[in-house]
Amino acid sequence: MTKIRVKNFGPIKLGFPEQGGWMDIPKFCVFIGNQGSGKSTLAKLYSTFTWIEKALVRGDFNEKWLGRKNKLLNQFLPYHRIAEYLVDSGEISDQTEIDYEGDAFSISYRESFLTAIPKNESTYKLPQVMYVPAERNFIAYVKSPKELKLSSESLKEFLTEFENAKQDLKSSIKLPVNGVDLDYDRLNDVMNIRTSSYKIGLTDSSSGFQSIVPMFLVSRFLTHKVKESLLSDVGEPMSPKELSRFRKAIAEIFTNKSLKEDQKRAAIQVLSEKFNKSAFINTVEEPEQNLFPTSQWEMLKSLVSYANELPDNKLLITTHSPYILNWFSISGLAFEISKKLDENEELKNKLNRLLLAKERVDPSSLAFYEFSEVDGSIRKLNTTEGVVSGNNFLNDYLRESNVMLDELLEIEELAV
């Protein structure tokens, strides 16, 4: 299982105090916490290090190149605009420590240097890595997102995949909320939300649709792309000759001084399309954004279904929503109960009506982490049969409003 260990990086100070600081990142991972507590920061770091590992395996660069001073600072962190979080001066104990343990490489960061040590690559599945940013609504809101001068590299890449997903739409598709359809008017380069009674452009639709469409479309597109590449001849592994040619071409991009960093990454992305991917690592910031609770659940069902399409797919989400936490509990319990039903078709049907098999989450592949903005620590939430402990921040704040109402009534009680 992939693991990550982070200390003294932006809002993350103490990090995870158990297991020597190592956080397991299983197939399904949920980060909760206040804003500024570091959950998105860690999600971005995880995404960055999975990308570095992939690039090392593919030969985009080697360990020696990676080991040069300030590579993390200058090359990788600006992609998510988190370079300023690095602490490389002062007491050693206050400096940034990052360790990542993947299937193919162990990668560490200490005092301005990255170190990568290869492991057994045979179990490694080359992933499609995507970070779905919180700013995704912006893309759906403007008429010509391609013409935007986006300052975030990760948002640019997301936009690229959004464009690819649009172009890939052959006919209208059903969105997981409100039973509406989405179609793409190629001639006018416009996306429309369509029901039986009305049609409205995505740019003019509600904020909920503007949030869900980019997230849903890109997740769906990349899931299918990875799956298709696995099933088709195109997805056959490269021959040694092809691999050598690929690595040479990548090296040329890296040494080309006329290309900017974002241009290099884009060029590599185009070139690496030739490489078959066997997994999709989807990191989604706040999937609940602008969505009604039932829509949050429907959206989550889609994301979980996509993650369940291939055994090595992963879904990591950050959230403020108790509904999302609740849904994972229900989904985990549904998975556990499904194992007890044997051949009882009636009960199986009943369970399917609640949650389909593809929408269930194996509790042994599920972890919840809670981030504290107070001391920059991270805590793993206990689960039983997949049901997450009620002892968590989101639940505590629901309780807090009952307590506040009680205190107000007590003031009135004492005033009478």
Residues that bind other proteins (CB under 8 A): 322, 325-326, 389-391, 395, 398-399, 401-402, 405-406, 409-410, 412-414
Q: Which of 180/300 has CB closer to other proteins?
A: 300
From the number of C-beta atoms within 10 Å of its C-beta (0-12, 13-18, 19+), residue 356 rates as: middle
Q: Which of 107/324 has CB closer to other proteins?
A: 324
Least distance to other proteins, CB of residue 402, Å: 5
Question: Tokens standing for 245?
Answer: 């040619």
Q: Which of 48/392 has CB closer to other proteins?
A: 392
Q: Which of 188/402 has CB closer to other proteins?
A: 402
Least distance to other proteins, CB of residue 383, Å: 13
Q: Which of 89/402 has CB closer to other proteins?
A: 402
Determine contact, residues 193/186, Cβ cutoff 8 Å.
Answer: no
Cα separation, 312 vs 67, whole angstroms: 28
- Give the CA count within 13 Å in the CB-facing half-sphere of 27: 20
3-state secondary structure labels for all residues of the chain: CEEEEEECECCECCECCCHHHCEEECCEEEEEECCCCCHHHHHHHHHHHHHHHHHHHHCCCCHHHHCCCCHHHHHHHHHHCCHHHCCCCCCHHHCCEEEEECCCEEEEEECCEEEEEECCHHHCCCEEEEEECCCHHHHHHCCCHHHCCCCCHHHHHHHHHHHHHHHHCCCCEECCCCCCEEEEECCCCEEEEECCCCEEEHHHCCHHHHHHHHHHHHHHHHHHHHHHHHHCHHHCCCCHHHHHHHHHHHHHHHHCCCCCHHHHHHHHHHHHCCCCCCEEEEEEECCCCCCCHHHHHHHHHHHHHHHHCCCCCEEEEEECCHHHHHHHHHHHHHHHHHCCCCCCHHHHHHHHHHCCHHHCCCHHHEEEEEECCCCCEEEECCEECCEECCCCHHHHHHHHHHHHHHHHHHHHHHHC
Least distance to other proteins, CB of residue 211, Å: 24
Q: Which amino acid is at 297?
A: W
Rounded to 10 deg, the angle between the 207-231 and 293-308 helix axes is 10
Least distance to other proteins, CB of residue 382, Å: 11
Least distance to other proteins, CB of residue 404, Å: 9
Q: Which of 117/398 has CB closer to other proteins?
A: 398
If you count them, how many residues does the chain have?
A: 416
Least distance to other proteins, CB of residue 302, Å: 23
Q: Which of 34/395 has CB closer to other proteins?
A: 395
Least distance to other proteins, CB of residue 174, Å: 30
Q: Which of 16/368 has CB closer to other proteins?
A: 368
Q: Which of 122/401 has CB closer to other proteins?
A: 401
Least distance to other proteins, CB of residue 340, Å: 16
Least distance to other proteins, CB of residue 342, Å: 23
Q: Which of 46/328 has CB closer to other proteins?
A: 328
Q: How many CB atoms lie within 10 A of CB 240?
A: 8
Least distance to other proteins, CB of residue 320, Å: 15
Least distance to other proteins, CB of residue 48, Å: 33
Q: Which of 202/361 has CB closer to other proteins?
A: 361
